[in-house]
């Protein structure tokens, strides 16, 4: 298996992308192609011992930054690390691509370079979401700010396949994020989506209120990208704030410091459950080849886990299963889009 890594993508590239790739090669026995500035990549590689037969460098002169307009950058920067890596996957020179770079550019690249699966109207970012019961899959996490009910139906199908094949959930339950659990709740989009999902071959749980999301009642949580991204970012910010407030309280007195020392192992384990680096990244579902979006501030562990995630993605033929399930719906007329 050959995984292409955008070595220049992310806040801490190429240090963490190189280290994470080396760790993945050692642990998972795969081949990694580091795409980016050869001189900078080689400088990082010299720090480590590794099997040089398993890591290859593809040199590029350019890199796409978060400040650039995504579509324009994808179209103009043909020699950027992200575009070259995605073209390798499109041309089947690599089995999957991982990038911690610009989310917008990666989404544009998925659409314009790799293309959508036939029958899929919109691709979706699927983010792993920690819950009391373990983890759930949230999609769309921000690829589409405006959606139709049909898109949410397709998100449910894709999320179910990914949850089963990659996360190992048997017959995953699908919940529709809404303002109430009753069938008649919500706006026009969620009401129509509820009806569609009720008649779709997925294990539909029903509506899911925001306060119930952390409970883990649903294995797959479906929403338009606007709502999904707010849920994700609010949760990230809330978790950081809670840990910051706890730290302040624990440091207020000698007694509280002793209490913090006693609670430290449990708090450390709790924090680990909320750590994005444990899960790797968010797959872009709905396009023809595997693409994983790693967090912009990913450390080497997150990159390693994103590569593991891509490996499982490929090994379990997720895209083929999505294609088959979408075909059962009758697909759609792509010429109308």
Of the residues 279, 303, 323, which one is the last residue of a structural domain? 279
Shared domain for 208 and 251, answered yes or no, is: yes
Domain of residue 168, CATH code: 3.40.718.10
Shared domain for 5 and 139, answered yes or no, is: no
User: How many structural domains is the chain composed of?
Assistant: 2
Task: Name the pTM for this structure.
Answer: 0.85
Residue 149 contacts residue 189 (beta carbons within 8 Å) = yes
Low-confidence spans in the chain with pLDDT less than 50: 332-337
Of the residues 229, 263, 279, which one is the last residue of a structural domain? 279
- In which element (H, E) is residue 9 found? none
Shared domain for 146 and 253, answered yes or no, is: yes
Shared domain for 254 and 134, answered yes or no, is: yes
Shared domain for 176 and 257, answered yes or no, is: yes
pLDDT, tens only, 233-276: 898 888 778 778 878 878 888 878 787 777 777 666 666 666 55
**SS3 assignment, position 216:** coil
Handedness of CA 146, 149, 151, 156 (dihedral sign): positive
Q: What is the DSSP secondary structure assignment for residue 333, as one 8-state letter?
A: -
Shared domain for 250 and 274, answered yes or no, is: yes
The phi-psi region of residue 221 (left if phi > 0; otherwise alpha if psi is between -120 and 50; otherwise beta) is beta
Position 112 scores a pLDDT of 93
Shared domain for 31 and 142, answered yes or no, is: no
Of the residues 247, 279, 311, which one is the last residue of a structural domain? 279
* DSSP letters for 34-74: EEE-HHHHHHHHTTS---TTSEEEEE-SB---TTS-HHHHH
Backbone angles phi, psi at 133, to 5 degrees: -90, -5
Shared domain for 264 and 186, answered yes or no, is: yes
Position 87 scores a pLDDT of 96
Shared domain for 181 and 239, answered yes or no, is: yes
Shared domain for 150 and 264, answered yes or no, is: yes
Domain range enclosing 322: 1-120+286-337
Shared domain for 226 and 261, answered yes or no, is: yes
Position 337 scores a pLDDT of 41
């Amino acid at each position: 298996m050959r995984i292409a890594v955008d070595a220049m993508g992310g806040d801490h590239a190429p240090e963490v992308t190189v280290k994470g790739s080396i760790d993945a090669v050692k642990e998972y026995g795969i081949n990694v192609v580091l795409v980016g500035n050869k001189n900078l990549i080689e400088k990082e590689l010299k720090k480590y011992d590794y099997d040089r037969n398993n890591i290859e460098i593809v040199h590029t002169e350019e890199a796409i930054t978060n400040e650039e307009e995504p579509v324009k950058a994808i179209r103009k920067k043909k020699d950027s690390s992200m575009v070259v890596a995605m073209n390798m996957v499109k041309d089947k020179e690599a089995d999957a691509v991982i990038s911690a770079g610009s989310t917008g550019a990666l989404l544009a690249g998925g659409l314009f370079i790799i293309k959508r699966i036939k029958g899929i109207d919109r691709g979706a970012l699927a983010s792993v979401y920690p819950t009391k019961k373990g983890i759930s899959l949230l999609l769309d996490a921000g690829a589409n700010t405006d959606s139709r009910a049909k898109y949410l139906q397709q998100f449910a199908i894709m999320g179910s396949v990914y949850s089963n094949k990659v996360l190992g959930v048997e017959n995953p339950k699908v919940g529709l994020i809404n303002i109430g659990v009753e069938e008649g709740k919500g706006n026009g989009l969620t009401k129509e989506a509820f009806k569609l999902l009720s008649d779709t071959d997925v294990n539909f749980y029903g509506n899911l209120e925001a306060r119930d999301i952390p409970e883990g009642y649903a294995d797959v949580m479906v929403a338009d990208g606007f709502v999904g991204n707010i849920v994700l970012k609010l949760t990230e910010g809330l978790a950081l704030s809670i840990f910051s407030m706890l730290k302040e309280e624990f440091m207020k007195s000698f007694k509280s410091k002793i209490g913090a020392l006693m609670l430290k192992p449990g708090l450390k384990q709790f924090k680990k459950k909320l750590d994005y680096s444990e899960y790797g990244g968010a797959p872009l579902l709905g396009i023809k080849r595997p693409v994983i979006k790693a967090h912009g501030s990913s450390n080497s562990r997150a990159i390693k886990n994103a590569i593991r995630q891509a490996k499982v993605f490929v090994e379990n033929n997720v895209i083929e299963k999505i294609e088959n399930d979408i075909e059962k719906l009758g697909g759609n007329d792509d010429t109308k889009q």
